[in-house]
């Protein structure tokens, strides 16, 4: 009798698990993405860096913190944006142009709200040592980790997909299915496999599931934007990409790679593209041309530019 009950319980568990896996994913109702750090700027300061504020269904989360310590803080003030109630930040990878503003923001904002930017989501590998040829440590995140945790901040490392809030997902490190190799290739990382070429194994991206399709917010997309979208398509089968915002590190890419990327974007049905930071101005224009998108749906991102789920891209004067 006990054996039959056990078999029934196991069967019920398997059915429940299967149902949960097949259950539809949550979708967000509202979404607005505002760029706070990139090179172009209508208002505020431009820099080689990236940061964006994501607001969705009452949640606010910061993606990256720019390069210079005060850029994002200053730009947010110029744009009339209060970041003090933003508790969580995503650091897409270890590079200084995405992490440089973290400590300034944390220390400044916690004066008003102790929990401001108190949780930092990162991909597994962001704290791996990056030894230089001179023997010095090239990963500034090791020192930043100590400083951040000293303020009461907490890092959460992810090695796979994680739901930040209903409908909003962090990819964690992405499988490199295609050899996009959009990193410098000059650095080394001390990984579990030893000292190897630093391909930014921790690179992670924010993916938001909306009723119109996926909205992807990338810092640099060092994992390869096609690899990222391929991974996302496995999590959300047959779901088009309604919006792509941020950097995809193709500023120095050869024409054939840009063209190949644009062809892949067609497969993912990319409908809106705001390419900022390391994307490259020419890359944005070439992808826009190949996708046949109107000017209103594919622009270079600028400080203050927004992407809204309902009203689309608002590029500002300089990027329109």
Q: Name the residue range of residue 277's domain.
A: 25-314
Query: Does 206 reside within a domain?
Result: yes
Query: Does 6 reside within a domain?
Result: no
Q: Find the CATH number of the domain harbouring 236.
A: 3.60.15.10
Query: Does 1 reside within a domain?
Result: no
Q: What pLDDT is attached to residue 195?
A: 94
Distance of CA 257 to the CA centre of its chain: 21
Q: What pLDDT is attached to residue 12?
A: 33
Q: What pLDDT is attached to residue 1?
A: 40
Q: What pLDDT is attached to residue 42?
A: 86
Query: Does 232 reside within a domain?
Result: yes
Phi, psi of 192 (to 5 degrees): -60, -20
Termini Cα distance of the chain? 72
Query: Does 161 reside within a domain?
Result: yes
Contacts of 170 (CB under 8 A, 6+ apart): 90, 121, 123, 158, 161, 162, 164, 204, 205, 206, 207
* Overall average pLDDT of the 131-135 stretch: 88
How many separate domains does the chain show? Answer: 1
Q: What is the DSSP-derived secondary structure letter of residue 133?
A: T
pLDDT of 4-17, one tens digit each?
Answer: 333 433 333 333 33
Query: Does 15 reside within a domain?
Result: no
Query: Does 234 reside within a domain?
Result: yes
**% pLDDT > 70, the chain:** 92
């Amino acid at each position: 009798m006990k054996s039959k009950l056990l078999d029934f319980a196991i069967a019920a568990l398997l059915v429940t698990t299967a149902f949960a896996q097949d259950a539809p994913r949550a979708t967000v109702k509202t979404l607005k993405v505002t760029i706070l750090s990139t090179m172009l700027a209508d208002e505020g300061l431009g820099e080689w860096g990236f940061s964006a504020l994501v607001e969705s269904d009452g949640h606010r989360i910061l993606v990256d913190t720019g390069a210079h310590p005060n850029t994002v803080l200053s730009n947010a003030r110029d744009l009339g944006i209060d970041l003090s109630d933003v508790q969580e930040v995503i650091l897409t990878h270890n590079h200084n142009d995405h992490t440089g503003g973290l400590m300034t923001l944390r220390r400044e904002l916690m004066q008003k709200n102790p929990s401001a930017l108190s949780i930092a989501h990162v991909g597994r590998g962001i704290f791996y040592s990056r030894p230089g040829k001179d023997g010095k440590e090239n990963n500034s995140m090791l020192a930043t980790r100590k400083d951040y945790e000293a303020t009461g901040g907490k890092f959460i490392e992810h090695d796979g997909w994680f739901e930040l809030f209903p409908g909003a997902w962090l990819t964690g490190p992405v499988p490199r299915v295609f050899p996009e190799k959009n990193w410098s290739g000059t650095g080394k990382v001390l990984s579990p496999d030893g000292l190897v070429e630093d391909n930014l194994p921790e690179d992670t991206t924010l993916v938001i599931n909306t009723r119109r399709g996926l909205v992807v917010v990338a810092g640099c997309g060092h994992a390869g934007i096609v690899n990222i979208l391929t991974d996302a398509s496995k999590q959300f089968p047959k779901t088009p990409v309604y919006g792509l915002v941020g950097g995809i590190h193709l500023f120095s890419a050869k024409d054939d790679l840009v063209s190949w990327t644009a062809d892949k974007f067609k497969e993912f049905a990319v409908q809106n593209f705001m390419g900022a930071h390391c994307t490259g101005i020419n890359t944005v224009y070439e992808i826009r041309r190949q996708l046949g998108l109107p000017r209103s749906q594919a622009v270079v991102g600028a400080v203050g530019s927004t992407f809204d789920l309902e009203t689309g891209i608002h590029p500002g004067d300089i990027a329109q």
